Structure 1
Amino acid sequence: MRKVVVTGLGVINAIAKSKDEFKENLKNMVIGIDHISQFDTTDHKVKIAGEVKDFDPLLYMDKKIAKRYDRFLQFAIAATKEALEDSNLEDGEWKENAAVIVASGIGGFKTLYKEFQKMEKKGPKVVSPFLIPMMISDMASGVVSIEFGLKGPNFNTVSACASSLHAIAMGTMLIRHGYVDVAIVGGAEATIDPMPIAAFANMKALSTRNDDPKGSSRPFDKDRDGFVMGEGAGVVVLESEEHAKKRNANVYGYIEGFGMSGDAYHISAPDENGTGAAKAIKIALKDSNIDPEKIELANCHATSTPSGDIAETRALRNAFGDHAKKIYIQGSKTLFGHALGGAAAIEFIGLILQMKEGFIHGMPNLVNPDDELKDLNIPKETVNYKTKYAIKNAFGFGGHNVSIVYRSL
C-alpha cells in the first residue's frame, strides 16, 4: 500500500481564522468561548458557545455565491482555500482525479430553520429554491469540488461528531489503494442556532455555566457539566508520498494508520467502559504497525461530558495498558468548543501544528481532575515537547468511533 502524507492545512474556528493564528492561540491556550451573539438567548437555558466572530465570506468568494451558501458551506470554502494555498498545489492534471470528502454532521441547519420560519409566516411560496442545496450535508464536498475544479471521488461521511475524522480515514484509504493521488478532506459545521442549542440543552448535553463562558468547557475536570457548542471548519490536503515527492512538496507528516468501530450500545451515550473506542484505537495501532509505546500524545474527543470523558480515558487504558499513564492527554474543545461534524478535522490540524512546532497545549480549565484520572498525564499548562507519534480520537452519537495514528517529521 502507498504511504499517505499531509501537505496542506486550512482552518477556521472560534480562536483562529488561519493555521498560523491557530498555532499561536493553541500555544497560548486562548479561549474563544463567550456569550452567543448570533441570536437572542433570553429564553434559552444555554447562552454560551464558541462562535467564529467577524467572519467575512467575501474574503473567500464573491457576493452572489456567498448569498447562496449556508454558513457551514462558507466555512468549508474558507478552510479549503487556505489548505490548497498551503499545499502549493498549482492548477494541473491532479485536479481531474482529486477526491473531495468534506464532511458535515448536520449540514445547513441555519438555512433550514430560517426557511421554516418564512413558510410559517408567509406560506410555501416564499421558501427559497436554494433551500435543499444549501442545507444537505453532502454539499460541503459539492461546493469545494465546484469552487476549486476538483473532479475525483466526491462524497460526504456522516457520523455525527466523528464525521470529519471518518472523512480523513476515507481519503487515506483512497490514496493507499491507488484510486487517487490527492484527497481534500475534513469537515465543516455551523449550528449555533436556536433549535440545536435548545435541543442539546434539553437533553442535558450542554454546559449551563453561562456566568463563566471561558471556564465552561472542562474536559477531565470533576466539575464538568457538558459540552459547549462550537463552529468552523478544518480541511487537510492528503497526497501519496510519491506524488508529494515528485513535486517537491512541503510535508507535515504521515498518516500511519486508522481504526473504526461501532459501540452497538446506545443512540447518544457512550459505552461506559469505552469498549468500542478501545477497539478503534487498537485497530489504528495495528494498522500503523508500530509499538503502542511509541505513542506520546493523545488528542482526545474530550467533550467535557460526565460520561464521555471517563469512557474515553478507560478506552485509552484498555488499549495502552500502563503506558496510558505516560501519554500526554489533551482535549482541544476546552479552547474553542465542539464543532460537531467539523470538530475532529479542526482538532487534527491542531495536533499536526503542535507536533510540528514542538509543544503540547495545556488544559486551562482543569482545576479539579476527576478522581479516576488523577494518575494520567494531563498538562494544565502548555508543555514544550517535540512529539513524533500521536493518536487522534473522535466519537459520535450512534456509537461511531474513529482513531488515526499520525507521525510527524
Structure 2
Amino acid sequence: MNSTNRTVVVTGIGATTPLGGDAASTWEGLIAGKSGVKPLEQDWAADQAVKIAAPVAVEPTEVIPRPQARRLDRSAQFALVAAKEAWADAGFEAKAGEDPNIDPDRLGAVIASGIGGVTTLLDQYDVLKEKGVRRVSPHTVPMLMPNSPSANVGLAVGARAGVHTPVSACASGAEAIGYAIEMIRTGRADVVVAGGTEAAIHPLPIAAFGNMMAMSKNNDDPQGASRPYDTARDGFVLGEGAGVVVLESAEHAAKRGARVYAEAVGQGISADAHDIVQPEPEGRGISHALQNLMDRNDLDPAEIVHVNAHATSTPAGDIAELKALRKVFGDDADHFAVSATKSMTGHLLGGAGGVETVATVLALYHRVAPPTINVESLDPEAEANADVVRGEARKLPVEGRIAALNDSFGFGGHNVVLAFRTI
C-alpha cells in the first residue's frame, strides 16, 4: 500500500450545473453549445450593474430531501448531489462499510470551494440584524464553514482515509482532484471522491466582482455575455453548481470490475507571485505549472489532443493561458483542440475545476471536444497561439491513446493543470 507510482483512474462522474442536473444532461448541453446564462430575476438585481448569472438548471431540493437540505449551505447541497451521482455511477451501491467493494479506511473525500458558505453567512447576518439573536439558525456554523461540502460528502459515502478542503480561489476544484490523485498514488487511499462546488449568486459577491470590473455587464444579451477569446469580451459571468469524480487505483477498479472512463495522469501546480488578482501577463506561472505536469508524469506531448481551458472571458487571462501553452509545447500545441466551456456554464469559481474535469473526461471518453460559443470576432492573439474549437463540437482522433488537459487558475496566482488519458 506504500507504492508511490500507482495508476489512478476515473470510475464515476457527477455534476449539477447551469446546463443540467446531472453529468449526462450537462454533457449534452456542452456538446449542443447551449448557454446556461439568464437574467437575474431576484428583486435585489435591480440595483446591480450586473444583472445576469448562470444558476443551476435543477434545484438541489428536487434531489435532496428538504429536511436535509435545510441543514446544508447551497454549496454543500450541490456537492452532495454531484457526489451521490458519481458514487452510484462508479458502481457503489451503498456507503463504505455497507458496500463490500470498499473499505471505509481506504476511502477519502476531497471537495473544494473557493468561497464556501457565503450565502449562509450573509443570510444569517441579515436574520441577526432584522430579527435578533434568538432567530439565528443553530446550524449556521456547520453550514458556513468552507469544509462543509467535503465533510458532508465524506459522511454520505463513509470516508475515513481523510476528508480535505483545498481553498485556492478558482483553482480550488482542480487542486482537490490533484490532491486526490496523490492520495491514491501514495497509498493513503484506494478510492477518493473529489471535485469542487460553489454557490455565490448573491448580491454581495456580484456587487464586489462587478465593482472590480471582472464581470460582464452585457445584460441585454445574457446568453452571449460569456465570450472567451472574442475581441469584445468584457469579463466573466458568475455560475453555480458542482462537479465530482470518483478516482480509484487501477488495481482496485479492476478487482471489482469497474467501468473506467479515463486515466488520471497527474497534476502540475505553481504560483504566479505576481498580483493578488491580475494574472501574470505572459503566463509564466501557468508555463511553470504545465512544465511541472510534464516533468512529474509519464505524458507524451504528442498524445495531447484537447485542452479544456480556464478561459473565463477576461481580456488579460484568456491570452496569457494560450501563450503559456504555446511556450511549453511549441509546435505540438498546433494539434490541441482548445475548448472554453465557461462560455456555456459561466464561471463556477471553486466549482469550475470539478465541472470542467467532468467535461474533460467525457471529451476523452466520447472522443469529441465541446465548442466555445459566442466567438464572433476571434482575438488575433488567440488565433496566433491556439486552435479554438468554435461554433460546433469537434471529433477527436478515434484511434490510439489520446490525452487532454484541464487548466484552472485563481486569484492569488494559483495555477493547477490536470491531465487525463484514454485507457
Alignment TM-score, normalising by the size of structure 1: 0.97
Look up the equivalent residue of 1:245 and give its one-letter code. A
1:374-385 correspondence to structure 2 within 5 Å: 374-375=383-384, 376-380=386-390, 381-385=392-396
The 1-side partners of 2:180 and 2:315 are apart by 32
Query: Does the aligned pair in 1 maintain the 2:60–2:81 contact within 8 Å?
Result: no
1:89 to 2:92 alignment: yes
The 2-side partners of 1:56 and 1:344 are apart by 20
1:168 pairs with 177, 195, 198, which one?
Answer: 177
Q: Deviations over 1:172-201 (max 9, x none)?
A: 001001111000000111000000000000
1:402 to 2:411 alignment: no
Shift of 1:58: 4.6
The farther-off stretch of 23-32 and 383-392 is: 383-392
The 2-side partners of 1:171 and 1:25 are apart by 28
Look up the equivalent residue of 1:104 and give its one-letter code. S
Q: Deviations over 1:281-316 (max 9, x none)?
A: 111122222222321111110000011101111111
The 2-side partners of 1:148 and 1:4 are apart by 19
1:267 to 2:279 alignment: no
Query: Does the aligned pair in 1 maintain the 2:274–2:280 contact within 8 Å?
Result: yes
What SS class does the counterpart of residue 288 from structure 2 fall into? Answer: helix
1:71 to 2:74 alignment: yes
The 1-side partners of 2:290 and 2:169 are apart by 19
What SS class does the counterpart of residue 388 from structure 2 fall into? Answer: coil
Query: Does the aligned pair in 2 maintain the 1:38–1:192 contact within 8 Å?
Result: no
Q: Aligned residue for 1:122?
A: 131
The 2-side partners of 1:384 and 1:302 are apart by 21
The 2-side partners of 1:320 and 1:299 are apart by 16
Q: Aligned residue for 2:258?
A: 249
1:99-138 correspondence to structure 2 within 5 Å: 99-138=108-147
Using the aligned pairs only, state the percent identity.
40
1:6-405 correspondence to structure 2 within 5 Å: 6-60=10-64, 62-90=65-93, 91-92=99-100, 93-375=102-384, 376-380=386-390, 381-386=392-397, 388-405=402-419
Look up the equivalent residue of 2:88 and give its one-letter code. E
Shift of 1:385: 2.0
The 1-side partners of 2:309 and 2:321 are apart by 8
Shift of 1:39: 5.0
Look up the equivalent residue of 2:345 and give its one-letter code. F
The 1-side partners of 2:47 and 2:397 are apart by 47
Runs ≥4 residues deviating over 6 A: none
What SS class does the counterpart of residue 298 from structure 1 fall into? Answer: strand
The 1-side partners of 2:282 and 2:260 are apart by 37
The 2-side partners of 1:71 and 1:212 are apart by 27
Shift of 1:126: 2.3
The farther-off stretch of 146-155 and 207-216 is: 146-155
The 2-side partners of 1:313 and 1:189 are apart by 26
Shift of 1:337: 0.4
Query: Does the aligned pair in 1 maintain the 2:20–2:58 contact within 8 Å?
Result: no
CA RMSD in angstroms, aligned pairs only: 1.3
Q: Deviations over 1:144-193 (max 9, x none)?
A: 11122222201100000000110000000010011110000001110000
What SS class does the counterpart of residue 381 from structure 2 fall into? Answer: helix
What SS class does the counterpart of residue 296 from structure 1 fall into? Answer: strand
The 1-side partners of 2:91 and 2:58 are apart by 27
Give the count of matched residue pairs. 408
Look up the equivalent residue of 1:236 and give its one-letter code. V
Q: Deviations over 1:49-85 (max 9, x none)?
A: 111134142523x322111111111111100110011
Query: Does the aligned pair in 2 maintain the 1:39–1:194 contact within 8 Å?
Result: no
What SS class does the counterpart of residue 169 from structure 1 fall into? Answer: helix
Shift of 1:408: 1.6
Shift of 1:137: 1.0
The farther-off stretch of 48-57 and 297-306 is: 48-57
